[in-house]
Amino acid sequence: MENDGVKADLAGDTAFYQKALAEDWTRGDSDGTFYTKAEVMKLMADAKDFKTNSEKLSQLKVRVYGNTAVATYKDTYDILFKGEHRAHTIIATDTFRQAGRRMEAGRESRRVSGEVAAYSDARTRPSRKRNAYSN
Question: How confident is the chain (135 residues) per 10-residue block, as mean pLDDT?
Answer: 92 91 85 90 91 96 91 94 91 82 60 49 33 36
CATH topology of domain 2-113: Nuclear Transport Factor 2; Chain: A, (3.10.450)
DSSP SS3 for 124: coil
78: phi > 0 → left, psi -120 to 50 → alpha, else beta; which? beta
Beta strands 101-113 and 21-28, pairing class: parallel
| pTM greater than the 0.85 cutoff | no
| pLDDT at residue number 122 | 31
Amino acid (1-letter code) at residue 7: K
| pLDDT at residue number 113 | 64
Measured on CA atoms in the order 94, 72, 114, 49, is the torsion positive or negative? negative
| Distance from C-alpha of 103 to C-alpha of 95, rounded to nearest angstrom | 9
| pLDDT at residue number 101 | 55
Measured on CA atoms in the order 21, 77, 54, 122, is the torsion positive or negative? positive
| pLDDT at residue number 107 | 64
For 21, counting Cβ atoms within 10 Å of its Cβ (0-12 exposed, 13-18 middle, 19+ buried), the class is: buried
Neighbour order of strands in the sheet with 68-81: 34-36, 21-28, 101-113, 84-99, 68-81, 50-65
Other Cβ atoms within 10 Å of 77 Cβ, number: 20
| pLDDT at residue number 52 | 95
